[in-house]
Amino acid sequence: MVKRSPLYSLQKKLGARFTEFAGFEMPIQYTSIKDEHLTVRRTVGLFDVSHMSNVWIAGKDAEKLLSLTTVEDASRIGDCKSQYTAILREDGTVIDDTIFMHLGDKYMIIPNAGMDEIVTKWLNEKAEEYNISATAENVSKDYVILAIQGPKSRDTLQKLTKIDLRTVGFFGCQYIDIAGINCIISHTGYTGELGFELQITPTKLAEGVFKKILEAGDEFKIKPIGLGARDTLRLEKSFILAGNEFKGGRTPLEATMSWTINWDHDFIGKDSLLKQKEKGDYERLTNLICIEKGIPRHNCEIKKDGKKVGVVTSGTLSPCLNVGIAMGYVHPDFREKESILEIIVRDRPIKAKVVKPPIVPKDWAQHN
Amino acid sequence: MGDEVRSNLKYTDTHEWLKLEDKIAKVGITDHAQSELTDIVFVELPEIGKEVKKGEELCVVESVKSVSEIYSPVSGKVANVNKKLEDAPETINESPYDEGWLVEIEIGDESEYKTLLDADAYKRMI
């Protein structure tokens, strides 16, 4: 049975076209992906991302459970701070990447769409196995998640709250009244722009908040944004999409997430990662910009002089650069910056250049 | 925008249109199709001279998120392609029946033409 966001009928009225994603029927676009994409880069857009999950981790050893099951040492993350991290299997492959928010004596984690039950079960099993006094509770159904993203996101939200939003630092999180509704705000996002995310419960309050944000952003020409632009926005910034980039079992070293790993603590999967790191011969996620016409897509082969050296995990046309861009796993010998590789699109090789992330630089919209 | 059907054209159930003049069939995609595909950002056109069969892939049209095959409404030989689309694929969205045509096919068997949908039949379908 396909799930719908509590905002489904409002979105339909606003002209959304829908798509199924990880068991949810969500807006893919309202006007057009390009238009929505550029709206977020240049001003502000409002996303419903309720397909993402919400799991509370509570109990006296909540911090310990997080430290054991993620690559982060949770004791480093103080109250009202959030952190991007990954949950690993014993073999070092990623189960899911997630943000956790430290909110008083509890933590909320935001697993990906459709990962709520798997992650909750995993955490509770590990709590039992390691005799840790903490529990994970799947509350995904109780929350609507909104993302307000773009250079005018703060100005938009500021109109709806008395708290000075400049005091909410990057990756800060806290309870806040927005449009008279108490919710959790975090200075986070998936677009590479200034942005905030709101966790709203009970879900029936979300429609009012959604409308109030659209009203507040009217002077900045705010638009509701679908998942199509969410995907192109994240790919331009080289952000991982779990369903694409972790498919088939990839470690955070392969996914070039080693910056998230805190090696000074013990966590599930650490031994496997250390072994992989020592060997060093693993494929790594690599960013590519096409220098010939064509659009790379998921599963296209990557070649060097006709020999297969990797595979595309995410590809699209970049609405900002107006060329094909891609992320994919490439053999370590062939991914040096500026190297020219070929991406095979419908049997035709398209030349692409290896670039450092992000594919589209920060503040692109201010210069274009 | 989105559902214009022109009475002087023939149609397929896969949303191509065709206009026949002196054995040359001009082919494109319908207004309905361009509206469903949304922003068209890339077009892969066939080689001139290529033999195509009715119902086979003629070219590929891509939006930001999707790749769609366009099928040949008739059999014949590719006589001309709309080169302009390579640099301005959005022309298909802007003018699906005029500036945004895709391919001209020199047709062999005119009987195939008779099996295509007329405007009323296509209108009922969409």
What's the pLDDT tens digit per position in A146-197?
999 999 999 999 999 999 999 999 999 999 999 999 999 999 999 999 999 9
For A37, which residue in chain B has the nearest alpha carbon? Answer: B64
- For the segment A203-237, what is each residue's pLDDT rounded down to a tens digit? 999 999 999 999 999 999 999 999 999 999 999 99
- For the segment A93-123, what is each residue's pLDDT rounded down to a tens digit? 999 999 999 999 999 999 999 999 999 999 9
The verdict on A147 and A134 lying in the same domain is no
Q: Which residues of chain B does A231 touch, with a Cβ-Cβ cutoff of 8 Å? A: 65
- For the segment A73-88, what is each residue's pLDDT rounded down to a tens digit? 999 999 999 999 999 9
Degrees (nearest 5) of the Cα angle A190, A195, A198? 90
Q: Beginning with the edge strand found earlier in the chain, give each strand of the sheet holding A135-138 in spatial order.
A: A82-88, A94-103, A106-109, A55-58, A135-138
Question: Which of A90, A120, A140 finishes a domain?
Answer: A140
- CA A278 to CA A219: how far, in whole Å? 54
Q: Per-residue confidence at A30, pLDDT binned at 50, 70, 90?
A: very high
Q: Which residues of chain A does B47 touch, with a Cβ-Cβ cutoff of 8 Å? A: none
Q: For residue A224, what pLDDT is reported?
A: 98
Q: Which residues of chain B does A294 touch, with a Cβ-Cβ cutoff of 8 Å? A: 42
Q: What is the pTM of this model?
A: 0.95
- For residue A279, tell me if it sits in a domain: no
The rounded mean pLDDT for chain A is: 97
pLDDT of residue A239 exceeding 70, the answer is yes
Question: From the list B39, B42, B86, which residue is nearest A295 (CB)?
Answer: B42
The verdict on A149 and A212 lying in the same domain is yes
How many Å lie between the alpha carbon of B51 and the closest alpha carbon of chain A? Answer: 19
Q: For residue A362, what pLDDT is reported?
A: 87
The verdict on A88 and A223 lying in the same domain is no
Domain count, chain A: 2
- Looking at the complex, does the CB of residue B38 fall below 8 Å from at least one CB of chain A? yes
- Looking at the complex, does the CB of residue B42 fall below 8 Å from at least one CB of chain A? yes
- For the segment A50-62, what is each residue's pLDDT rounded down to a tens digit? 999 999 999 999 9
Range of the domain at A87: 55-140
Interface of A with B (CB under 8 A): 28-29, 32-35, 228, 231-232, 293-295, 297, 316-317, 319, 346
pLDDT of residue B35 exceeding 80, the answer is yes
Distances, alpha carbon A132 to alpha carbons A57, A58, A60, A135, A136, in Å: 12, 11, 9, 9, 12
Q: Per-residue confidence at B2, pLDDT binned at 50, 70, 90?
A: confident
- For residue A123, tell me if it sits in a domain: yes
Q: Which residues of chain B does A28 touch, with a Cβ-Cβ cutoff of 8 Å? A: 65
Q: For residue B1, what pLDDT is reported?
A: 58
- How many angstroms from the chain centroid is the CA of residue A17? 22
- For the segment A330-339, what is each residue's pLDDT rounded down to a tens digit? 999 999 999 9
Q: What topology does CATH give the domain B10-125?
A: OB fold (Dihydrolipoamide Acetyltransferase, E2P) (2.40.50)
